[in-house]
Structure 1
Amino acid sequence: MREPHKQDIEVDRTEVHKKSDSSLVASTFIKYAAYIIIFFGFLYFLIRYVFPKF
């Protein structure tokens, strides 16, 4: 039996390197810190102004 015809195929390999960029970490921290501050501010508003009216 004959071998099937094999073509020469070039395969591009890409390497993924994880970058530990400090500015990306800092911006993510600031974003989540802002979410937490907004959340607790909303809770404070509810407890201080809305719940006493019931």
Structure 2
Amino acid sequence: MDEHRNVEVERTVKKEDSSKVGVAFIKYGAYLIIFFGIIWFLINYVLPNL
């Protein structure tokens, strides 16, 4: 029983994709803007009323 099989091996090369870096930058930038917006709201509208 002599079988020859054609096996294709898919090789993946891990690349540093610049679009992933851009998406992460925008995401964390949005987090920072929201965070500082909440802090600004608390300082200007909540704390003076206490």
Compute the RMSD of aligned alpha carbons: 1.5
Listed as ranges, the gaps of 5+ residues in structure 2 are 1-8
Based on CA coordinates, which of the two structures has the bigger radius of gyration? 1
Aligned partner of 1:26 in structure 2 is: 22
Residue-by-residue CA offset, 1:8-45 (whole Å, 9 max, x unaligned): xxxxx876633211111000110000000000000000
Structure with bigger helix share is 2
Instruction: State the aligned residue count.
Output: 42
Q: TM-score, normalised to structure 2's length?
A: 0.72
SS of equivalent residue, structure 1 residue 20: coil
Give structure 1 regions of 4+ aligned residues with deviation exceeding 4 angstroms.
13-16
Q: Which whole-Å CA distance do the structure 2 matches of 1:36 and 1:49 have between them?
A: 20
TM-score scaled by structure 1?
0.67
Distance in 1 (alpha carbons) for counterparts of 2:10 and 2:43: 54
Confirm or deny that 1:53 pairs with 2:49.
yes
Letter in 2 for 1:36: L
